[in-house]
Amino acid sequence: MHQISYTKRNCTDREKIEAFLLRERVGVLGMISNGLPYAVPVNYVWHKGSVYFHGMGSGKKVEILSENPPVSFTIYKEHGTVTDPVPCHADTSYMSVMLFGQTAKVTDYEEAAAVLQELLEKFMPKYYSHPLTGTLIEKYRSGMDGNGVAVYRLTPQEMTAKENAVEADQLFNQKAQ
């Protein structure tokens, strides 16, 4: 279904893709709301072959996902601009992964706690001394809206990866100019 047309940029190295998904911090969640695209950047964690993200238990994202769970999720990292003597050949060095599938709200509090713990370890390693528990997640209510935290799982049905990897000396460096 989702094929990369510029096959020269296709990345099929599973270890590289896995490392990229584990390392990067933000992805763009693409959804459809009332027939229109709606995309929002979210912090995420790649855990057991799925992307997990969270948010308040209310709001536009929660509303859209409850009505229309098919999504795309894009993670990308730009490394810089690739120089070339011909201006039209200047390019960008990057890596990106796109996932396509259905989201599901995580309703098991133990799974939600484990995923939120993974997020904490990714973004704030060793900051908290006690791990999250399912009971805490079940009882937690936000002071903003009184709702609990919403955790979502996207298990990809399809995945594509692209990259344009170049050596650092091929990247534009304004200080060297």
Q: Does residue 96 belong to any structural domain of this protein? A: yes
Q: Tell me, yes or no, whether 125 lies in a domain.
A: no
In a domain, 113, yes or no: no
Assess whether pLDDT exceeds 80 at residue 14: yes
Query: Is 175 inside a domain boundary?
Result: no
The residue type found at 87 is P
Give me the pLDDT at residue 145, please.
57
138 domain residue, yes or no: no
Q: Would you give the end-to-end CA distance of the chain in angstroms?
A: 44
Q: How many domains does the chain have?
A: 1
Q: Is 124 helix (H, G, I), strand (E, B) or coil?
A: coil
**Tens of pLDDT along 86-129?**
888 889 999 999 999 999 999 999 999 999 999 999 999 999 99
Mean pLDDT within 6-30: 94
Query: For the domain that residue 28 is a member of, what is the CATH number?
Result: 2.30.110.10
Question: Is position 177 within any domain?
Answer: no
Q: Would the pLDDT of 174 be above 70?
A: no
Widest distance between CA atoms in the chain: 61
91 falls within a domain: yes
Question: How many Cα atoms occupy the beta-carbon half-sphere of 2 within 13 Å?
Answer: 15
Its domain, for residue 99, covers: 7-106+148-166
Q: Which stretches within the chain are classed as H helix?
A: 14-23, 60-67, 109-123, 134-139
Phi–psi pair at 174, nearest 5 degrees? -60, -30
pTM for the predicted model, two decimal places: 0.87
pLDDT > 90: percent of the chain: 65
Higher pLDDT, 110 or 175: 110
Q: What percent of the chain has pLDDT over 70?
A: 92
At position 11, the amino acid (one-letter code) is C
Asked if residue 65 belongs to a domain, the reply is yes
pLDDT of residue 146: 56
